[in-house]
Amino acid sequence: MAKRVLVVDDEVGIRESFNSLLEDEYSVSLASDGEEAIEKMKRKLPHLVILDLRLPKMDGLEVLRIIRKLSPNLGVIVISGVNEVQTVVKVMKLGASDYLSKPLHLEDIKEAIKEAFSRSEKKKTRENPDARIKDFPALQGIMEKVEEDMLDEGANLQEASKEFEKRFTDLVLERTKGDRKRAAAFLGVRKTALFSSKS
């Protein structure tokens, strides 16, 4: 059975483009605003959501918060024409799988979808799911430190998401004293590929 992908965007052209791109491989449903998206999710939960940040009625950040309550492990790719460090950080704090800036590129979309599905599967099979919750206060402190450092330095907006991931992972490894198993559980949604450079 094909995996279900929900595309949420107020622009008809973008919804239709995603539908054309994905319909041969996935079961695609479309929503033009946040309220419609949540209604569809409550009726039948998708395996992945592609979510525009700026939506009528309910903005993408609020939709993302609700998605996390409905399904903590669900992959969510956020798309936006807004390139601001603060926005990227907010989206990542809410557990988005990826953040793609408009204009969108075909290969970036395909790679983001592939990684989102992979990450969702790894989250489901994680050995110690309670570790991240137990250490949440420390995790929040690490995220805030990375955010402050990036804002102070005037981070390049195009590279903000990647730079955040790298610094965040480095700090978690430092705080967990190099214990990769604990760090992996601690990070939760973070890209496991980042650990390869530490080998």
pTM above 0.85, yes or no: no
| Extents of the domains making up the chain | 4-124, 130-198
Q: Is the dihedral of CA 81, 68, 110, 158 positive or negative?
A: positive
pLDDT in tens, the chain (199 residues): 789 999 999 999 999 999 999 999 999 999 999 999 999 999 999 999 999 999 998 999 999 999 999 888 889 999 988 777 778 888 888 888 888 888 888 888 988 998 888 877 666 545 444 444 344 455 555 556 655 665 555 555 455 556 666 666 676 667 666 666 665 655 553 433 333 334 3
The Cα–Cα gap between 123 and 146 comes to 23
Q: How far lies 11's CA from each of 39, 43, 65, 97, in Å? A: 19, 23, 22, 22
The CATH class, in words, for 4-124 is alpha beta
